[in-house]
Every structure is written in C-alpha cells, then in structure tokens.
Amino acid sequence: MLQLFRVAGIPVRIDPSWVIVFGLISWSLAAGYFPRVLPDVSVGAAWLHGVVAALLLFVSVFLHELSHALVALEHGVPVSGIRLHVFGGVSEMEAEPPTPRAELMIAVIGPLTSFVIAGLCYGLGRALDGPPWVAALTGYLAVVNFIVGIFNLVPGFPLDGGRVLRALLWWGSGRQQWATLWASRAGIAFALFMIALGGIRAVAGEVIGGLWFAFIGMFLYQAARASRALVDIRARLEPLRVADVMAPAEPAVAEAPPPANAVAAEASAWQAFLKLGRAEAGRLAVVDGGRVVGVVSRRDLQDALLERPDADVARRAA
C-alpha cells in the first residue's frame, strides 16, 4: 500500500485496487460521458477530461473521508489512516466512538461533505462562463457527489447511514452492541438487495452496470457480516481482563523495560484484540506496575473466544 502524504498527522494511503478503478472510471468517461455531452471533443481531449474528472472524484472521496477523520479526532477517537480503495475510501478508526452523539456526528459529516462538494460544483458550473468542458466536468462531479451522499445515507451498516442508525438505536436503548447488531442486519439486507439488483440489471443487458452493483453488494455484505461478527467477539472478550488470557512472561522478558506497544494487565481482552489488529508481530507485552508480566497473542484470544459460551453472547447482544 502506497502512502501519499499526511493531513493533521493522519497518513493517507492508496490501495493497489485504486489503480484499477481509476483506470476504469477514466476509460468510461473518455469513451462514454464526455463524447456524449461534448460531441466535437477529440479522443485525446476526452481522455484528458476523463483522467482529470477521475482524479477530482477521488479528491472528493478523500475529502469525504477526511471529514470523518477530523470529527473523530475532535471526539477523542484515534485515526490510524485514510485508505482509498476500489470501492471509495475508509477512515481507519482505532476505537469506537465514546457516545451515541459522537457516533452520529462522525457519521453524518461525510454525506454532508459530499453534498457541499456537489453544491459547489453545481454553482461553479453555473457561474463560470468558460468552455463547454468546464460545465461538463463540474456537472459530472456535482451529480456523482450528490449520489455518493445519498448512497451513504442508506441505513445499513457499515455505510454512514448505518452508523447513523446505530447511533440512534444506541441513543434510545443505551446498548451499543445491540445497536450494532441491528444496524449490521440492515446492512446485510441492503447488500443482498444490491446483489439481486445487479443480477437483474446484468440479465436485462446492462452487464457492466449490473456487475458493478453486484460487486458493491458483495463488498457491503462482507463488511456488514464482519461488523456483526465483531459484536460477537466483543461480547465474549470485554468481560475478560488481559491478565485472564495472557501467558506469563519469561524471566528475561520480565526484566526488560516495557515496550511502547504494550497493554495493561487490567485492560479488557477486547482492548487487546483491537491493539493486536494493528500489531505486526501478532502479540503484545502485558504490563503491570511498570513491569512486563506476560505476553498476549492472537492465539490466546482465539482460545478465550472458544471458551466463551454462545448463550452468554446472545444474552448480551439481544
């Protein structure tokens, strides 16, 4: 993964899949959109407009994700990076929002940013008395950003609308895990709808558009299932302390100074799970009173998950 730059200390990275979708969008604009709205455009100019439009589209996606990241930081949620990928982008937050209000604010700012960009592009297109390609470019960006904003407001996790739904359910019930479970179920339902719609469009002759809908649906389905699985994992691990699942430290390790990337013995095993998700080594030192007292690994957490009965999880999430 290629890191481009940092904004407010947040690294911005591009997934290799981004190159594929960038090429496809540039091609579709150069071969379809610009020749249709600009009948006299040359092949070279159409490709230039297509590449510029695709770049500006990804700038819009970046600004959408940056708004999420900045509001998350304001509410005390650490952000490890912004990643642009084949389906758009994601702000990689290292922890859950602390309150339903924080979740709501973090979620709604993304679609609002897309709507603002759409409005600015529409206004520029109407205000500028430039060549026809300017109106074509701003018109495209206005429409696409408006669609991005609307699509993200669909109330299915992990879309922004699903996070809004989770925030409202959490606010009303006081149970974050229960809210996540139902928002994830809504996300799975919407993903299946997208897959079915994509199949119908493909059978009707819109093969490329239908396949794209189906691919997005499959991506959302996997993401929603993963979110639902995290509810299960959190319910199993949160009641446990790291000290309950760690392996004791070897004498040589115990005498060494604690490493920077460590977890407290009294912290929940769920916190260790989150830290291990970002750790390259696959294990963390466990500290207590400034001393290394043990080591916790992914295997330790897997064993702890196997020992937690499903009935307990069901009662916590229901």
**pLDDT band for position 279 (50/70/90)?**
low
Per cent of the chain over pLDDT 70 is: 92
d(CA 157, CA 55): 27
**Residue linked to tokens 């719609």:** 197
DSSP 82-113: EEEETTEEEEEESS--SSHHHHHHHHHHHHHH
3-class DSSP state of 316: helix
Round the CA-based radius of gyration of the chain to a whole number and report it.
Answer: 23
DSSP label at 157? Answer: T
Q: How many angstroms from the chain centroid is the CA of residue 58? A: 15
Residue 278 pLDDT grade (very low, low, confident, very high; cuts 50, 70, 90): low
Q: What is the pLDDT of residues 92-118, one digit of tens each?
A: 887 788 899 999 999 999 999 999 999
What pLDDT, on a 0 to 100 scale, did the predictor assign at position 181?
Answer: 86
pLDDT in the model for residue 251: 66
pLDDT at 308: 63
What kind and span of H or E run contains 263?
A: strand 262-264
- Residue 265 in contact with residue 286, Cβ under 8 Å? yes
* Digit-coded pLDDT (tens) for 176-204: 888 988 998 998 999 999 999 999 998 98
- Domain layout of the chain by residue ranges: 1-153, 156-237, 242-317
What confidence tens digit (pLDDT) does each residue in 281-303 have?
Answer: 677 888 887 788 888 888 888 88
Strand partners, 211: none
Q: Which of 65, 94, 103, 206 is catalytic?
A: 65
Is there a contact between 239 and 315 (Cβ–Cβ < 8 Å)? no
Which residues does residue 84 pair with via DSSP β-bridges, in sequence order? 14, 89
The tokens of 1 are what? Answer: 């993964």
- Sign of the C-alpha dihedral computed for residues 62, 216, 169 and 114 taken in this order: positive
pLDDT over threshold 60, residue 312: no
| Average pLDDT of the chain, as a whole number | 85
* 96 in catalytic set: no
Return the CATH architecture of domain 242-317. Answer: Alpha-Beta Complex (3.90)
Mean pLDDT of 269-273: 83
What is the DSSP code string of 183-245?
HHHHHHHHHHHHHHHHHHHHHTT-HHHHHHHHHHHHHHHHHHHHHHHHHHHHHHHTTSBHHHH
Kindly state the average pLDDT of the residues 69-79: 92
| 59: pLDDT strictly greater than 90 | yes
Which of 200-214, 222-236, 242-256 reaches the highest mean pLDDT? 200-214
Whole-model pTM? 0.78
What pLDDT sits at residue 317? 47
